[in-house]
């Protein structure tokens, strides 16, 4: 180890930051977060104002182009996104290669990455027009692919997009319609879905976005970059958390088991976490969780599912954790995924689709961050270093003379 330290000392200043908690990997003008103050802004606009006044497609425009659109710009943008919602008929064939019980995130990783095999024109990342079309294609087609993944798992026919509906309503239509009866999208659920999409649209350099940027820094095409982002999002410490929240609630099972579960969480040897609590950046509160909490209670009341045992359990857990010294002293508050999981459960969306819906929302963030990276003259390939702690200068031993 002494030798290794000498080697690194000879290199000069060398930062060692596991998890990159103190390291900025880029300059960006897309999303601003002040974790201590609980501030989240897209292009300088507070998330609370966007959640109240905007809709997802307008937020997509804002993230991509840096300013709120005029009426004309928004209409053109909406039209562009709507025109790209269909996927190539050959993409249907991919689905037959997956087992019916495949996790929809596994299908998403594969099918979104495979878009590169269809849109060769978009592979020229140095052409600004092609970059823009790739962005349209991804934002428009990812919900269609997500709904197809769900329908495939249900053994139901795929539902084609309806271009007369809003982005959120069309997504719900593709998820819920069955051939004999068209699903009527309730305005409350449409609004709740739109809100879930807005609140998850971007979050600066989180694990999946950093993955998209790292892959993008190699010059890889936008479909490959977004597929890599989807893979990173799948993990339970990131986008998989909303699914993990529901699994945790099912495991706890009953309110009477909460005290035992909480003591298990406090026991470090158990490696059990209270899923949906805590955040790397927000150490006082997650502003998205605040908005989601209100919507959550509204949706539950409107759907009349306040007696659902899992949801009652979630509310009880929220109350206990907000009062318990362990969570309070570590500043562990419910994050956006705690409430988004509960809302989606109440909306009848299967748990395995929660992370997929997060991916649908985050696609605009990923592609906007990717565009910013490609258009940054200072961009170079991402290549972190390491502190090597293994052996050095060993002599190769013949197999017969080893231990
Ligand atoms: N349950 C119990 N204890 C926790 C939790 C939790 N959910 N989160 C953090 N802690 C504890 C840690 O064990 C640590 O305790 P210690 O000081 O006694 O060792 C302390 O709180 C500080 O935690 P860190 O590990 O420093 O937090 P970090 O910033 O590394 O992790 C993370 C953040 C990954 C989000 C973590 O809180 C977690 O795993 N939460 C549950 C998963 C989750 O909900 N993820 C969603 C994140 S939001 C998103 O992706 C949209």
Q: What is the pLDDT along the chain (403 residues), one digit of tens a residue?
A: 556 656 666 666 778 999 998 999 999 999 999 999 999 999 999 999 999 999 999 999 999 999 999 999 999 999 999 989 999 999 999 999 999 999 999 999 999 999 999 988 888 899 999 999 999 999 999 999 999 999 999 899 999 999 999 999 999 999 999 877 778 888 989 999 999 999 999 999 999 999 999 999 999 999 999 999 999 999 988 888 888 888 899 999 988 999 999 999 999 899 899 999 999 889 888 999 989 888 888 888 888 776 677 778 888 888 888 899 999 999 898 888 888 888 898 888 998 899 999 999 999 999 999 999 999 998 999 999 888 899 999 999 999 999 8
The neighbour count for residue 400, using CB atoms within 10 Å, is: 5
What ipTM describes this predicted complex? 0.91
> Catalytic positions, please?
279, 337
**CA 111 to centroid of ligand 1, rounded, Å:** 31
**CA 278 to centroid of ligand 1, rounded, Å:** 5
Q: Alpha helix (H) ranges present in 16-127?
A: 47-53, 56-65, 71-83, 91-95, 104-114
b or e along 31-61 (b: 16 or more beta carbons within 10 Å of the residue's beta carbon)?
bebebeebebbbbebebeebbeebbbbbbbb
- Strand 31-34 relative to strand 45-46, pairing: unpaired
Q: Extract the tokens encoding 376.
A: 């940054």
235 by Cβ neighbours in 10 Å (0-12 / 13-18 / 19+) ranks as middle
**Would the CB of 336 count as within 6 Å of ligand 1?**
yes
Instruction: For helices 354-374 and 207-216, give the axis angle rounded to 10 degrees.
Output: 40
Q: Output the pTM of the full model.
A: 0.89
286 Cα nearest atom in ligand 1:
48
The strand ranges marked E within 87-146 are: none
């Amino acid at each position: 180890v002494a030798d290794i330290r000498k080697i690194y000392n000879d290199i000069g200043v060398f930062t060692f930051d596991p998890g990159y908690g103190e390291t900025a990997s880029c300059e960006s003008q897309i999303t601003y977060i002040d974790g201590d103050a609980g501030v989240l802004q897209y292009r300088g606009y507070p998330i609370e104002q966007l959640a109240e006044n905007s809709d997802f497609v307008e937020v997509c425009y804002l993230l991509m182009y840096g300013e709120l659109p005029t009426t004309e710009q928004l209409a053109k943008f909406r039209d562009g996104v709507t025109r790209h919602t269909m996927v190539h008929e050959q993409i249907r064939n991919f689905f037959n290669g997956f087992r019916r019980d495949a996790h929809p995130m596994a299908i998403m990783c594969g099918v979104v990455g495979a878009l590169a095999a269809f849109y060769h024109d978009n592979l020229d990342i140095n052409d600004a027009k092609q970059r823009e079309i790739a962005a349209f294609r991804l934002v428009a087609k990812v919900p269609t692919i997500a709904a197809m993944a769900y329908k495939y798992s249900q053994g139901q026919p795929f539902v084609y997009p309806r271009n007369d509906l809003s982005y959120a309503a069309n997504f719900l239509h593709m998820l819920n319609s069955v051939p004999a009866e068209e699903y009527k999208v309730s305005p409350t659920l449409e609004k709740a879905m739109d809100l879930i999409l807005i609140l998850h649209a971007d979050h600066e350099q989180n694990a999946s976005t950093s993955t998209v940027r790292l892959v993008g820094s190699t010059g890889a095409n936008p479909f490959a970059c977004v597929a890599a982002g989807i893979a990173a999002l799948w993990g339970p410490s990131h986008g998989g958390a909303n699914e993990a929240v529901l699994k945790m609630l099912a495991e706890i099972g009953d309110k009477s088991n909460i005290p035992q579960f909480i003591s298990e969480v406090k026991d470090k040897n158990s490696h059990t976490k209270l899923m949906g609590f805590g955040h790397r950046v927000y150490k006082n509160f997650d502003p998205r969780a605040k908005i989601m909490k209100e919507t959550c209670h509204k949706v539950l009341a409107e759907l009349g599912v306040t007696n659902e045992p899992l949801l009652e359990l979630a509310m009880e857990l929220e109350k206990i954790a907000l009062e318990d010294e362990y969570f309070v002293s570590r500043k562990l508050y419910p994050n956006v995924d705690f409430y988004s999981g509960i809302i989606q459960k109440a909306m009848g969306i299967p748990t395995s689709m929660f992370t997929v819906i997060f991916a649908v929302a985050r696609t605009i963030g990923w592609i906007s961050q990717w565009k910013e990276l490609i258009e940054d003259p200072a961009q170079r390939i991402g290549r972190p270093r390491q502190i090597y702690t293994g052996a050095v200068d060993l002599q190769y031993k013949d197999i017969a003379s080893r231990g």
